[in-house]
Chain A
């Protein structure tokens, strides 16, 4: 009993404990779940905002304010006084305290900006350079001097001259091995150099540097119409304009010649006319136009003759024959297909072996043509063309069959044959076969006589090999003519084009236009299902790749939707679906800034920006850490923060007030300005600098926020804006952009190899690559030539640097070394290259 009592007591105690501990345990578990599911309910990632700075203006502040007002109201004399005040005050402060106001440079800038005369302005800027203390300000002044149109133009002309003469010297020096100067035989080298020189000089191209210089000189004239140097500049402009006109006209003349070769007179005439418009004094254009006109006139006369009705032969058809033919003539006039066939058959039978029979067979072909049986009609025509007893009918049939507008299938076949021939020609001869052989053969043939032909032949074998490789990997001969002719045939004779559909599909497949290849294979009805499935897979992958490459959300969405709409069964469709789903997620919208980007630009998240706690960036998970995805500013007053937690990335949306948002936007603009300023001396004039992808509306600030206009009932442009717009292209919640670091934007930059160049030429192969900065040499080269294998490094000559840009290529060879001098040429790296093409 006692034992039972004890047992009951123990049970009661246990129950009591459980009754007390049970809810607590359940509570703990709940907390744990809550923490896992939502690990940051109470965490505030924002710091308290700093108090606004107090402002107590002293004399310096007042004078600074006065200088700004003087600059705005263009009171130049007062500005000069202001500059004097700041210079003196800084001198005094430096003497007394060793510190300055730091405003003299700024006021000097304000003063210098009032100078209108170019020479004086540049002189003032150069002078300011010696005073300026801040490196940023120095960069700005240097960029102003560098960006002066006339200075730039002269730089460009200098580069062009260096390239011209340097190129010439390099061609001469390329054959010169200084290390072997005592024993070398230079005959072959001299011939090589001479031939290369002639080929280079025959080019009528105008270097891009000269065209840039011309544009800059014109810009200078516009900006400084009263500059004393202008008469001299105008002469320079005239000379450059003349060269440009000649070069541009020559390009049109080349196109005209090309068109003439293809017997396309209208195209040739067009290009000659363009050439004449560019250079009215061009004799070649005039002569070309005359030639085209003469040929066109001759053709017109021929055409007129063909339009006229020729006299019938003396021994024409007799009356009975004519009567028999009349019925066929009426049937043809009425386009009565049945009657044409029957009458033609009867005539052919009755007058077998005569011209009348041939004419009747031709009429039967017309009947088939009216029925739409084009290919059968052509077969009958071919029979007429082969008939030997009716010369007139035979010639007419032959002419018709040779007419590319009638015999479209033949045109298509010819285009295919031509393409094959061009491909073979390319493999065997390549581009500029004669030029290449001239360059390759001159040296060996002069020095070694007929024996040199062996090395020329070996060179050609190598050329053919490279060409073949190019054709197999990416045929440079365009298929466009084949495609055009094929499509033309299909459009005109869709009923007899099944074979053409298939050929065209193959051509489109070869050119990587999979959507069209699929369409044509489907129309041919001959492609196996597997082939179509493979092509659809390829097409979908292409679209997926295009979406990956695109930076615009609307384009990405378009490509991905195309995959889902057209290739829903492909494996890429699943990926496209996932990507589209990801794109619609909240964290992938708004102004997205990665953690790395924020760490590179701390102004944006610090006290003057979003006001995020620095602890979010310290790598310590225990005090909350920002995930790599960073933060997104959604709409005007929300920030989505991606936290890195032990359970993975968790997101939380916080509301921010207008003040924080405004502060952040100002910080972005300030940072953008700072970054742009940092690259101002390396960027071409007028190009955009600063943060990549920064939305224009953010940069425009309050300027972009227009007051809402009352509805006037005129909705002219509303409709257009809706037309074809993407569903997520315009983020309804505000800005849509992604800020990333350079390495995040293009991860390959981290592992990028220095640019490599290679050459497989007649007698040697070589491969060269730039060396990273800081090393002794500029370029590394490996290869083999007629002599032996070699390895070399290109080094600038320290003594000549800044005087003549000469590099020396030191090459090590088995048992010896070689030394080649080389003038360094400049390559145009400016923006807008196409504007000077």
Chain B
């Protein structure tokens, strides 16, 4: 019997030692990052092209091995390389810079670099010329002035821009420029919502219009990398409406209708829960926080209105 106990003690000790070893392994799994700097232009271009996805509409710009936005990191590395190796591979450097700048939506700088790349008579010239042409069409839309006098003209101007971007989306279908044009179109769509929201007091049925605008935004850009951000913004708008309702109708007073407040809060909650339900996105944490905040507010209002 004693032997058995001692034997089992030995077994348990072995298991405990194994467990301690495993726990040590587990901490080793998450080791420090290794950074190996590039030695030549080939390294820089490979790192860049490996991570430079065409689809910047659906995906955020990737981070390189150092954790920095790959476009920004490449621009730094290209500068460094150029300083250390003047007049070497200038067309490749300018062309790569052009791509990096255009993905960062710095079209003027992208154009300038493509133009320099096109000056060199080589393999990259035809592609650089094509890109210049495309980016010029981008610039034409971007530079279109918007009315600062009449809100309806302003909206009309935004609509025209959306149509123009839409045409570019169709024209450059399947290329990186399709996604860039989508990003620009999305930006205008978001701006439209922001404009309606900012001016909702001046518009007849301004709140409904804003809700409609948000609904259109989240329906149209369901594939966008910003989709969950929009859902949170939509929820925030309902929370703002709920806040305004409280400000207009004292919850302790007789004019206050808890049902009306709760409908607004519930609408917000629906958007927040939709985001909080999605795994693997940072917005989840924000959504969870907002749900808790809304729960707190609703509880307070319920108590006040009792």
Contacts and interface: CB of A to CB of B under 8 A. Distances in A.
Interface stretch (B101-109, B157-165, B203-211): B203-211
Contacts of B36: 306, 392, 395-396, 399
Contacts of B96: 333
A369 B43 contact: no
Given A333-B124, A334-B127, A720-B263, A405 B62 contact: yes
Contact of A688 (B19, B66, B206, B306): B306
The 6 A-B pairs of least Cβ separation, nearest first, read: A487-B280, A306-B35, A428-B19, A310-B37, A457-B9, A399-B34
B218 interface: no
B264 interface: yes
Interface in B170-226: 204-208, 211
A583 interface: no
Contacts of B303: 686
A696 B258 contact: yes
A263 B39 contact: no
Q: Which of A261, A714, A717 gathers most chain B CB within 10 Å? A: A717
A488 interface: yes
A302 B84 CA distance: 20
A461 B207 CA distance: 64
A209 to B, nearest CB: 22
Contacts, number: 210
A392 B39 contact: yes
A318 B241 CA distance: 69
Interface in A396-417: 396, 398-400, 402-403, 405-406, 414, 417
18 contacts: A302-B33, A302-B66, A307-B68, A307-B73, A309-B38, A309-B77, A312-B39, A329-B45, A329-B89, A329-B92, A333-B96, A334-B124, A359-B46, A396-B36, A399-B35, A405-B63, A485-B280, A486-B279
Interface in B3-47: 5-6, 8-9, 12-13, 15-16, 18-19, 22-23, 25-27, 29-46
A701 B155 CA distance: 48
B270 interface: yes
Interface in A316-354: 316, 325, 328-330, 332-335
B49 A370 contact: yes
A554 to B, nearest CB: 9
B35 A303 contact: yes
A723 B42 contact: no
A414 B280 CA distance: 15
B87 interface: no
A421 interface: yes
A420 to B, nearest CB: 9
B288 to A, nearest CB: 12
Interface string B107-147: 00000000000000011100100000000000000000000
Given A307-B68, A460-B12, A332 B266 contact: no
Interface in B218-261: 238, 241, 245, 254-255, 258-260
Contact of A453 (B9, B25, B34, B67): B9
Given A330-B123, A418-B26, A461 B12 contact: yes
Nearest to A355: B39
B207 A414 contact: no
A260 interface: no
Contacts of B51: 406
B81 A309 contact: yes
A341 to B, nearest CB: 13
B263 A721 contact: yes
B251 to A, nearest CB: 12
Nearest to A328: B42
A305 B127 contact: no
A414 B27 CA distance: 11
A429 B22 CA distance: 12
Interface of B: 5-6, 8-9, 12-13, 15-16, 18-19, 22-23, 25-27, 29-46, 49-51, 59, 62-63, 65-68, 73, 76-77, 80-81, 84, 89, 92, 95-96, 122-124, 127, 204-208, 211, 238, 241, 245, 254-255, 258-260, 263-264, 266-267, 270, 278-281, 303, 305-306
Interface of A is mostly: helix
Given A334-B123, A703-B254, A719 B207 contact: yes
B273 to A, nearest CB: 12
A396 B19 CA distance: 33
A659 to B, nearest CB: 25
A491 interface: yes
A179 interface: no
A422 interface: yes
A460 B43 CA distance: 55
B270 A724 contact: yes
Q: Which of A306, A458, A488 gathers most chain B CB within 10 Å? A: A306
Contacts of A716: 205-208
Contacts of B255: 706
Interface string A359-397: 100110110011000000100000000000000100110
A326 B166 CA distance: 38
A559 to B, nearest CB: 14
A477 to B, nearest CB: 12
A308 interface: yes
Nearest to A454: B5
Interface in A455-473: 457-458, 460-461, 464
A41 interface: no
B44 A309 contact: yes
A406 B33 CA distance: 12
A309 B73 CA distance: 11
Nearest to B76: A307
A424 interface: yes
Contacts of B281: 487
Contact of B279 (A306, A365, A487): A487
Contacts of B30: 262-263, 414
